[in-house]
Amino acid sequence: MRAAWLEIDLAALRHNIALLRQCIGRAQLMAVVKGNAYGHGDHLIAPAALSSGARLLGVATTSEGVRLRTVGITAPIVLLDHTEPSEAEEIIFYQLEPTVFHLASARALAKSALAQGRTALVHVKLDSGLHRQGVAPQAFPAFLAALAQLPNLAIGSVFSHFSCADTDHSCTLVQLSCFQEATAQLPYRRHLANSAATLSWPQSHFDLVRCGLALYGLYPSALIPRIGLRPVLSLRARVIRRITVLPGETVGYGCGFRALERTTILLIPLGYADGIPRQWGLGRARALVRGQRLPVVGRVCMDLLFLAGEGDVGDQVTLIGQQQGDVLSADEAAAAQETINYEVTTQLRRLPYCAKE
């Protein structure tokens, strides 16, 4: 195995789902596993989430849904993003449940469903204020009426998406009111809450909540109530080389690190091809080695990075996760590149997974 890997704590995932189910009462839970389960490995997360009480899976694209079908997932899989009419045949064949907000896509789905002797189960998206995808409120009744005329097509739910449930109270109230007004008299299952709303807006739970971040023990912002979620992902590696540089000597491309004194440098087999941002170099990020926080120094290479501090070949390195009582969180890693915690995890790639029960 490569000397760098992602450790996925499935016990933490199950713990998080249990906490979320306590929060949502009778509402169902959709486990959002798009973006390769936010970098956590959808092939690991999807079956564990379903066995822990999630009723549906949410992905972004048809290819993500097909991949889950090919590894044996039989539960409902909702495609949360736009799909092209040209994808309709594959969507119906793999019994995926697409989001619709354009009649052209809906017609293609109905046609493919008729040809295959199946029913296209679709989820209709309302634009309640995010203005990214969805049918405008004033056009929503006519759109639903048009869908009702299509053969072999059924509506599985109506839904929308918050833009700032973790930060803006007034904006969230406007969206909540819009959704309630547009859907209150409809006979379909309704869902609106993402992770932020699930944790802080119980009036938005309706029939179903869609949780991504919270599944993985990540919080959308510092304003969201802490309920004891546990991080699921750890990023680990092993030291593959140890060198000593003298005062004045440099390390890495562009002479990005110059030693002021005799310094031990540890080489780690991770780089920006693995999703490690170059911003982590130049002392902006830390890693745990032997329980000590060591700075990432020099410029992050495509496949390698450097740490300054004591250690030896074979020592375990933790860049996200816990080691000897200390924790480096995804939030700290995000601060080193001035972004959000789930961009950090989602961008991790090319690494083997190690499931921990």
Say yes or no to pLDDT of 327 above 80. Answer: yes
d(CA 264, CA 244): 5
Determine which one of 34, 219, 272, 342 is catalytic: 34
Provide the mean pLDDT of the chain. Answer: 96
Q: What is the pLDDT of residues 277-298, one digit of tens each?
A: 998 998 889 999 999 999 999 9
- The dihedral sign for the CA sequence 42, 48, 51, 52: negative
Name the fold adopted by 233-356. Lyase, Ornithine Decarboxylase; Chain A, domain 1 (2.40.37)
Say yes or no to pLDDT of 308 above 80. Answer: yes
Per the annotation, the verdict on 125 as an active-site residue is no
Question: Stretch 47-68: mean pLDDT, rounded?
Answer: 98
- Residue 44's pLDDT band, with cuts at 50, 70 and 90, is very high
- Residue 316's pLDDT band, with cuts at 50, 70 and 90, is very high
Burial of 142 (0-12, 13-18, 19+ CB in 10 A): exposed
What's the pTM?
0.95
Say yes or no to pLDDT of 223 above 90. Answer: no
**Going by C-beta distance under 8 Å and a sequence separation of 6 or more, which residues neighbour residue 193?**
162, 165, 201, 204, 205, 206, 209, 210
For strands 77-79 and 326-328, give the pairing.
unpaired
Contact present, 201 and 172 (Cβ < 8 Å): yes
For residue 250, the model assigns a pLDDT of 96
Say yes or no to pLDDT of 66 above 80. Answer: yes
For residue 282, the model assigns a pLDDT of 81
For residue 231, the model assigns a pLDDT of 98
Question: Stretch 229-234: mean pLDDT, rounded?
Answer: 98
Q: Identify the CATH number of the domain defined by range 10-216.
A: 3.20.20.10
Contact present, 120 and 109 (Cβ < 8 Å): yes
Say yes or no to pLDDT of 267 above 90. Answer: yes
Q: What is the pLDDT of residues 243-255, one digit of tens each?
A: 999 999 999 999 9
Per the annotation, the verdict on 253 as an active-site residue is yes
Q: What is the pLDDT of residues 69-94, one digit of tens each?
A: 999 999 999 999 999 999 999 999 99
CA 15 to chain centre: 17
- Residue 115's pLDDT band, with cuts at 50, 70 and 90, is very high
Instruction: Determine how many CB atoms are found less than 10 A away from the CB of residue 262.
Output: 10
Determine which one of 94, 125, 216, 253 is catalytic: 253
| Domain ranges within the chain, ordered by starting residue | 10-216, 233-356
Say yes or no to pLDDT of 1 above 80. Answer: no
For residue 344, the model assigns a pLDDT of 96
Rounded (5°) CA angle 35-40-42: 65
- Residue 222's pLDDT band, with cuts at 50, 70 and 90, is confident
Phi, psi of 243, rounded to the nearest 5 degrees? -130, 165
